[in-house]
Amino acid sequence: MSTWELIAVLVAGVGAGAINALVGSGTLITFPTLVSFGVPPVTATISNAIGLVAGGVSGTWGYRRELQGQWPRLRWQMPGSFLGALLGCFLLLHLPETVFEKVVPVLLVGALILVVAGPRIQRWSLRRSGILGHAGAVTEAFPLSPTRIAAMTTATFLVGIYGGYFTAAQGILLIGALGVIAPDDLQRLNAAKNLLSLIVNVVAAVTYTILAFDRIDWTAAGVIAVGSLAGGVLGARYGRRLPPAALRILIVVVGLIGLWRLLA
């Protein structure tokens, strides 16, 4: 790639890191950028997953305060993300890319619907459980039944498969699903999303480095890593200040743009 193309990839990495910290689906910026510069799709997917690990670290660290008190859920979700990512990486290296391309838009539309309808579904779930708080808020002590834990872990595992395979919009899928299964404040869900997405990207990066070293564009991966590291810091710093309604709108807008780019 030329100098100007590397600069464009760097800028895309900053944008992807910030969007991943805020919403998820930053891959929808970096992946098309790499492909437009002649990087083969699978190589672009692999290199992008490696590069975005740095942004995942900075974004997760920036949201560390919102992660407090979430261990009772994360201890189930983290293994789900880990195992799902392994399976997703296996699928990427062994199946045609067209397999998931047909499913991605459907999953993204479903996730956006869940994000929009999240508040009403959460209130319904809280009333059903008999613990509706002030203005529909959920306390950290929200009980998780075995059925809810199983559903939450399964959803995290399935999104992990998707994330290990393609990575784009996995954050939106996580927030959409978890907002219904385990109602909570949107910023706390976003913090959990950052951590779980980071696990998926780390597993993908290590797997690809071991099994597909020769298919990685290390220059592109390095440039994306530098950009996403800075972007993750910016996204976490300003994203946590957004009110839930504004963050929800941002998620929907980015998701719709991502859907349009996937379909195009």
Candidate from 75-79, 170-174, 245-249 with smallest mean pLDDT: 245-249
Amino acid, single-letter form, for residue 66: E
Where does the pLDDT of residue 87 fall: very low under 50, low under 70, confident under 90, or very high at 90 and above? very high
The token pair at 100 is 């998931």
Where does the pLDDT of residue 121 fall: very low under 50, low under 70, confident under 90, or very high at 90 and above? low
User: pTM to 2 decimals?
Assistant: 0.79
Contacts with 157 (C-beta within 8 Å, 6 or more apart), sequence order: 80, 81, 83, 84
DSSP 35-83: HHTT--HHHHHHHHHHHTHHHHHHHHHHTHHHHTT-HHHHHHHHHHHHH
Contacts with 82 (C-beta within 8 Å, 6 or more apart), sequence order: 160, 199, 203
Where does the pLDDT of residue 140 fall: very low under 50, low under 70, confident under 90, or very high at 90 and above? very low
